[in-house]
Amino acid sequence: MMTDENTTTAGRIAEAIGERIISGELQPDAPLRQDHIAREFNSSHVPVREAFRQLQAQHLVVAVPRRGVRVAPLNINSVKEIAEMRAALEVVALRNAAPKLTSSHLARIELALIEGDTAQTIQEFEMANRAFHHALVAPCAMPRLLASLDGLQLANSRLVFAMARSSGWRPRSNQDHRLILQALRARNIDQACSLLARHIQTIERLALPSS
């Protein structure tokens, strides 16, 4: 049985290991040893196992029979799966959130957009990107859906960092984000949802090699 202390420790371990995976410090298929991680975080194996479950739910690690827990692959199938799942679920969340968006919500969305536009590093950009997508859907008040989207957004962040390492990154304005916000301000929910789905699927086209 997990104690409150173990739960807190598991969350701390999952967050630390997750950031290493997202940044590329831990490469695809790298093994994650329970005993090593328990020693590093001065914990028992119980919170480490829970951290692994959390990371698996976030699509950052996989449990492979006879090979243990490893960093999830970044291959064509995983890229397509993340994009398709995000496109479907985030649109559902936005469709439920949009009628509840207040001027305060819209201001938070715009702030994240501006922070993304003015970011000088990929780390700053991706933090703003996560904030933008979270602010879009937060008012939907569907906690299970939002938890799933948080995990998918982390997996998406990993793709962004991987692409930045391979092709470089430079500061730029995110026109898709601006168009989505404009549609929401105009209360054109169908257009906002269509723009969001197209925007999310763009990363699949960018990440996959041309055929």
Task: Return the CATH number at 66.
Answer: 1.10.10.10
Looking at the fold, whether 61 and 92 belong to one and the same domain comes out as: no
In the 8-state DSSP scheme, what is residue 121?
Answer: S
At residue 210, the pLDDT reads 44
pLDDT of 172 strictly over 80:
no
Give the count of domains, the chain: 2
Q: What HEC string does 153-173 produce?
A: HHHHHHHHHHHHHHHCCCCCC
Q: Which tokens hold the place of 197? A: 């789905």
Looking at the fold, whether 152 and 98 belong to one and the same domain comes out as: yes
Task: Name the pTM for this structure.
Answer: 0.82
pLDDT of 114 strictly over 90:
yes
Looking at the fold, whether 43 and 110 belong to one and the same domain comes out as: no
Q: What HEC string does 44-90 produce?
A: CHHHHHHHHHHHHHCCCEEEECCCEEEECCCCHHHHHHHHHHHHHHH
Taking the C-alpha atoms of residue 18 and residue 16, their distance in angstroms, rounded to an integer, is 5
The domain boundary, picked from 71, 97, 124, lies at 71
184 closest CA partner among 85, 87, 97: 97
The domain boundary, picked from 41, 71, 101, lies at 71
Residue with tokens 């994240």: 112
Looking at the fold, whether 18 and 89 belong to one and the same domain comes out as: no
Q: Which of 2-6, 46-50, 125-129, 196-200 has the lowest mean pLDDT?
A: 2-6
pLDDT of 205 strictly over 80:
no
The average pLDDT across 75-95 equals 91
CB 25 within 8 A of CB 16: no
In tens, the pLDDT along 26-47 reads 999 999 999 999 999 999 999 9
Looking at the fold, whether 39 and 82 belong to one and the same domain comes out as: no
Q: Which helix (H) or strand (E) holds 95?
A: helix 76-97
Q: Which amino acid is at 126?
A: E
Looking at the fold, whether 57 and 83 belong to one and the same domain comes out as: no
In the 8-state DSSP scheme, what is residue 2?
Answer: -
Looking at the fold, whether 90 and 124 belong to one and the same domain comes out as: yes
Q: Which domain holds residue 106?
A: 76-207
In tens, the pLDDT along 134-144 reads 999 999 999 99
99: confidence class by pLDDT, cuts 50, 70, 90:
very high
Looking at the fold, whether 149 and 80 belong to one and the same domain comes out as: yes
Residue 150 CA to its chain's centroid (Å): 5
180 closest CA partner among 169, 170, 172, 191: 191
Taking the C-alpha atoms of residue 208 and residue 210, their distance in angstroms, rounded to an integer, is 6
